[in-house]
Structure formats: structure tokens, C-alpha cells
Amino acid sequence: MQPLSARRPGSRTLRDPAPSRWSYRVQRVMLTPHLRAFIRKGLPMLALLGAVALYFAQEANRVALLTATNDLREQFEDRPEFRVSLASIEGASDDLADAVRARLDVRLPQSSFDIDLTAARLRIEALDAVKRADLRVRSGGVLQVVITERMPVAVWRTDEGLTLVDDTGYRVAGLTARTDRPDLPLIAGTGAAQATPDALDLFAAAGPLGPRIRGLVRMGERRWDIVLDRNQRILLPEQNPVRALERLLALDHVQDIMNRDLTTVDLRNDHRPILRLTPYALGELRRAQGIEFVENAL
């Protein structure tokens, strides 16, 4: 009797349908979603990147691509709709417009892509009379330059000469003679330009004294003196000068003191203003009080 497992002569060996351990593991790995996605998308992408890298590894191919790109860019930028042929300057006086046009330094016609608007704006705003400049390219090939001009509000007298300043004390332009701008008030002294807003407040509060004011002098970079005609001077305090001037105007309205023979009105002390008379008025006052001076000859 033969065992069941014994092979008969001439029979074939049957293959076990179950996979081996390594084959099973490979099949399980291949069934994972990430690996299948990588094989489906990642491998073609890597192959494409490899082909591109291999192509551009040759210098001739790189040069050809750069040349073609530059040619396309130049053809696009040189199209007629991007060409600027005219510059328009708005918001500036004739003299300032000429200075702005010189500072613009843009050769027309040229493509709008070749114009550095930021650099041109900085060059224009470097002018003292220009507070702000806005540049834009309009349709029709026009470079529009809109200028916000600094408006002079006072004449500042220094040892170097006369200077026009705006309401912030910024320099606008030089001035040859005071008679060139008699419509503007005069300020003088070191630091006067920086205190221009305070000076404008004093000019506005001067009231009936306004026509008599010759100018304001900055004293010690701390306070103002008002210089009037007839060689009169008002010494204002460091703090609240407008209020001190208003008190003087109220006193002048009642007693008409500014039309008397005064040289100085000292308002630096809020509680005790000091009036200095002219020598003639002082002598007349003393004679009226019976005070006489006798010169002693030695």
C-alpha cells in the first residue's frame, strides 16, 4: 500500500497558488494610494523635469531661450499703445514747470516700460518749490505730471539773504529783494522759519496793529518780538504769545497806548506789563511831576 503523498512516475508537480512572503509584501505596497499616485503622476513629472534639465544643461539651448524671451519682451514693449510721446505738467507755475521738465530728464518718445517713474518723481520732489509730485502714464501716450506746489507765506531774513518759506517753514525759493514780495509778512532771526506757524498766528491776531507791523524777530529761538513802525517793539512771552497780544489789543482799545510815545511794550511778565517811553516823553513826564535833573559840572 502506497502513501497518498507519494508521487507517481510521470506525474507533474502542482504549483502552490499562494504567493510567497516577499511577493505578498510587494503586492500590498503597490496597492497603497500614495505609491499609486506617485507612479501615475510623480514619475511622469520627474521624467519631464529630467528632460528639461538635460535640455538646458547645454549652454546653446539656454542662450537660444533667453534670446527668444528678450525678443518677445521687446516686441511687446515696443507696441504703439505703450509708447509715450508727450509729457504734461499740471499744477505748476511757468517757471516751476520749466524746472520740473528739466528735472524729469525723460527722452521722448520711448516705451512706458523704460521710464522709471519712481526715480523721476524723486528728482522732481527734490525741488524746493515742489511739495509733492504724482506721475502716471495716461492713454494716448501722455506722461502726466501733477505738481503740488509749495505756496510761500512769509519772507525769512537771515544773514545769508532773503528766503521764501511755506506754512511749515520749508524753503520755497530764494528772494532777491524784499520789494519783490511786499505782500508777504517778514520774519527774522535764528529758528524763525521753524516757528513759522506761530508767526502766522500772531499776524492773524494782530488786528488793527497789522498795518503797522514791519516784521517778527525770533529771540533766542524761544520767543517773538513784534517790530512796529515808529521804532516801537512789543516783547512777547515764550508761552501763549497770542493771548498776550490779545490782552495788549484790548488795553490799546481802551487807553490807546500804542499811539503814545512808547519805544517798548514788554509783555513777558503776564502780571506786570512794562512800558518804556521815548526820551522826550520821559522828560516831559518828569517835568510834569516836578522832577528836574541838574548837571553837576566837576
Instruction: Give residue-wise pLDDT tens across range 225-278.
Output: 999 998 899 999 999 999 999 999 998 888 888 888 888 999 998 888 888 877
Residue whose entry in the numeric block shows the C-alpha cell 509730485: 133
φ, ψ for residue 195, nearest 5 deg: -100, 25
The C-alpha angle with vertex 194 and arms to 209 and 118, in degrees rounded to 5, equals 130
CA 184 to chain centre: 26
Whole-number pLDDT of residue 205: 94
Grid cell at residue 207: 488786528
Q: What is the DSSP letter of 194?
A: T
Instruction: Please tell me whether the peptide bond between 279 and the residue prior to it is cis, using omega within 30 degrees of 0.
Output: no
Res 17: pLDDT: 65
pLDDT digits (tens, 9 = 90+) for 117-135: 899 999 999 999 999 999 9
Q: What is the pLDDT of residue 289?
A: 60
pTM of the full structure: 0.66
Q: Provide the pLDDT for residue 296.
A: 45
* The predicted structure's pLDDT at residue 222: 93
| Amino acid of residue 231 | N
Q: Cell digits for 71?
A: 525678443
Domains and CATH numbers, the chain: 80-149 (3.10.20.310), 154-288 (3.40.50.11690)
Q: Which residues of the chain have pLDDT under 70?
A: 1-19, 29-30, 75-78, 81, 279-298
Given this model, what pLDDT does residue 56 score? 80
- pLDDT of the residue at 121: 92
The CA distance from 35 to 56, in Å, is 30
The C-alpha angle 147, 152, 154, rounded to 5 degrees, equals 165
